[in-house]
Structure 1
Amino acid sequence: MEVIIIEKKTFEEMTAKFDEFVKRIENACLRNSAKGMGEWLDNQDVCRILNISPRTLQTLRDNGTLAYGQIHHKIYYKAGDVQRIVSVVENKRKEAGFRNKTI
């Protein structure tokens, strides 16, 4: 284990800056929660709600139909965005049904 010695004044300045940083983060969290960030859904939730496959969900992301956010390798969707495209998905499903009947 390596020991590093710093002056008391330097340590106090560092802790004061860290405390200030913590307060800024807490304030940012409070502002965002006050804005009503809402519930975030993952891939499985969205597939279940829209009754679509994961591949179809990827297509909706790729073509810009459904907005998403990504943290590391996990993708999240706002519940409001998913509700907005329910009619789009239903219309595409109906169009596909009509096309299959005419063949």
Structure 2
Amino acid sequence: MDLITKDSETTLVLFSSLDRMLENVEYVVMNYRPVLNGEHYLTGDEVCERLCISKRTLQDYRDTGLLGYVQLPGKIIYRESEIESLLEDYYINKRLLK
């Protein structure tokens, strides 16, 4: 029976596999979007980035009913389909105005 040390090939392969698994888990965590009834939801930061607006403007959109949302304990999420609809309804291409 061989002695397994931190420098043995078996240990190096194990640690390499663990590193790859950790990278995969980190990717899933960073790119996870909740799916409920086939609908994708976005966080407030993602909506602000997609619409190029501030968090305060996003709150104004919620308050005026321009944008629907779902409030969970400690978190507000937005339907991706509503964001896309908002963009289709209100987006003006400035290049077309010139």
- TM-score normalised to the size of structure 2? 0.52
Query: Which runs of 5 or more structure 1 residues have no equivalent in the other structure?
Result: 1-31, 95-103
Hey, what's the Cα distance between the residues in 2 that align with 1:41 and 1:55?
17
Query: Which runs of 5 or more structure 2 residues have no equivalent in the other structure?
Result: 1-34
- Aligned pairs for 1:29-48 (under 5 A) are 35-36=37-38, 38-48=39-49
Match of 2:79 in 1: 78
Match of 1:68 in 2: 69
Aligned length: 59
Match of 1:3 in 2: none
Post-superposition Cα deviations, 1:40-62, rounded to whole Å, max 9, x if no partner, equal 10100000111111011001100
Q: Which has the larger radius of gyration?
A: 1
Q: Which runs of 4+ in 1 moved over 3 A?
A: 87-91
Post-superposition Cα deviations, 1:17-46, rounded to whole Å, max 9, x if no partner, equal xxxxxxxxxxxxxxx96x42x211010000
- 2:60 corresponds to 1:59: yes
Q: Which of the pair is proportionally richer in helix?
A: 1
Of all paired residues, the percent bearing the same amino acid is 36
Match of 1:27 in 2: none
The answer as to whether partners of 1:60 and 1:66 remain within 8 angstroms in 2 is: yes
Task: Kindly provide the amino acid, as one letter, of the partner of residue 66 in structure 2.
Answer: T
- TM-score normalised to the size of structure 1? 0.50
Partner SS, residue 58 of structure 1:
helix
Post-superposition Cα deviations, 1:50-77, rounded to whole Å, max 9, x if no partner, equal 1111011001100001010011121000
Q: Which of the pair is proportionally richer in strand?
A: 2
Deviation (angstroms), 1:90:
3.2
